[in-house]
């Protein structure tokens, strides 16, 4: 079973475009028809921002990362596990995909610990700050038994990026990190990050991106400041995945048509594919 498991992470910005998601669902259905077992992990940052604005709750972020205080946690629980999750499940059902909407809280799917305070260089000010991210969790364990149970029944888990600690406290989780932890624990063959950038750019300001990279090359680009900002934690998750035995990790931007999604997911002709140290291509 494990050689056929694909973990696909969907960024919140993609989910704002119904027609793009519909096209993606058609390709996911195609993969299922080819006996692939699919797990979807999703975010919902833009949707949470919108609700916070409507409710008059200040949005607190540093370097694009949400600081989840009590009020923000209330919103992300409502948005991630509620509106975003159920809308995505409904779109999957429309295409005869047996989707089951859950979050990392259910059956302790993602047991977490509170992220400790971290020294962070604020990109807006250049100052180094000690940041408390609030109710943000780092994954400790994944309940792979529940996921395998659903996959054996030909269900598609659609997982909102929340988790729970041993005391029953709910936490916000980075969706990339949750997808990576799930892929590693369940022994997935494919891990795909669908995000708001087309891939790893060859240089800042360019529209051209690398189609193939090794992890070593990507890490050199971080040192050389050619990979910056939000792409850095993605590469960190890629490293975790590759070291766990996943052959490659695919970072691809949001696409619009069925043929583009098909080429991207099946042929890997869009986005950047990152390989481990044994890659010889």
Q: Over the stretch 2-47, which tens digit does the pLDDT of each residue have?
A: 569 999 999 998 999 999 999 999 999 999 999 999 999 999 999 9
Under 8 Å between Cβ of 63 and 126: no
Told to judge if 163 belongs to the known catalytic residues of this protein, a careful annotator would answer: no
Looking at residue 145, its pLDDT comes to: 97
The confidence band for 279, taking pLDDT boundaries of 50, 70 and 90, is low
Told to judge if 220 belongs to the known catalytic residues of this protein, a careful annotator would answer: no
Told to judge if 45 belongs to the known catalytic residues of this protein, a careful annotator would answer: yes
**Catalytic hit among 9, 77, 91, 108:** 9
Looking at residue 49, its pLDDT comes to: 96
**Catalytic hit among 11, 43, 44, 45:** 45
Render pLDDT for 234-257 as a digit per residue (tens, 0 to 9): 899 999 999 999 989 999 998 999
Q: Is the pLDDT at 280 greater than 70, yes or no?
A: no
Told to judge if 234 belongs to the known catalytic residues of this protein, a careful annotator would answer: yes
**Catalytic hit among 44, 101, 137, 176:** 176
The confidence band for 94, taking pLDDT boundaries of 50, 70 and 90, is very high
Enter the pTM of the model.
0.94
User: What are the backbone angles phi and psi of residue 220, rounded to the nearest 5°?
Assistant: -65, -35
Q: Is the pLDDT at 196 greater than 90, yes or no?
A: no
User: What are the backbone angles phi and psi of residue 195, rounded to the nearest 5°?
Assistant: -130, -165
The confidence band for 281, taking pLDDT boundaries of 50, 70 and 90, is low
Under 8 Å between Cβ of 186 and 5: yes
Render pLDDT for 210-232 as a digit per residue (tens, 0 to 9): 999 999 999 998 888 788 777 88
Maximum separation of any 2 CA atoms in the chain, in Å = 53
User: CA–CA separation, 205 vs 227, rounded Å?
Assistant: 12
Domains assigned to the chain:
2-275 (3.40.1160.10)
**Catalytic hit among 12, 104, 163, 253:** 12
The confidence band for 138, taking pLDDT boundaries of 50, 70 and 90, is very high
Told to judge if 176 belongs to the known catalytic residues of this protein, a careful annotator would answer: yes
Q: Is the pLDDT at 278 greater than 70, yes or no?
A: no
**Catalytic hit among 77, 91, 108, 234:** 234
């Amino acid at each position: 079973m494990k050689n056929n498991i694909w973990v696909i992470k969907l960024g919140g910005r993609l989910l704002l475009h119904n027609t793009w998601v519909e096209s993606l669902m058609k390709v996911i259905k195609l993969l299922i028809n080819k006996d692939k077992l699919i797990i979807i992990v999703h975010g919902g940052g833009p949707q949470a921002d919108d609700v916070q604005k409507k409710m008059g709750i200040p949005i607190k972020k540093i370097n694009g990362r949400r600081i989840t205080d009590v009020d923000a946690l209330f919103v992300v629980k409502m948005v991630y596990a509620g509106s975003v999750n159920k809308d995505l499940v409904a779109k999957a059902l429309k295409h005869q995909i047996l989707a089951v909407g859950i979050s990392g809280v259910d059956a302790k799917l993602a047991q977490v610990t509170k992220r400790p305070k971290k020294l962070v260089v604020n990109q807006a000010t250049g100052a180094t700050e000690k940041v408390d991210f609030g109710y943000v969790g780092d994954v400790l364990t994944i309940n792979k038994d529940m996921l395998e149970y659903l996959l054996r029944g030909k269900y598609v888990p659609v997982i909102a990026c929340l988790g729970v600690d041993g005391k029953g406290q709910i936490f916000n989780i980075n969706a990339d990190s949750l997808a990576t932890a799930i892929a590693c624990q369940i022994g997935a063959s494919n891990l795909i990050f669908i995000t708001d950038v087309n891939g790893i750019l060859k240089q800042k300001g360019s529209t051209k991106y690398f189609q193939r990279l090794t992890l070593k090359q990507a890490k050199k680009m971080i040192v050389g400041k050619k990979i910056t900002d939000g792409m850095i934690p993605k590469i960190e998750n890629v490293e975790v995945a590759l070291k766990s035995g996943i052959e490659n990790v695919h970072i691809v931007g949001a696409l619009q048509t069925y043929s583009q999604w098909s080429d991207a997911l099946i042929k890997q002709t869009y986005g950047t594919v990152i390989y481990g140290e044994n890659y010889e291509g």
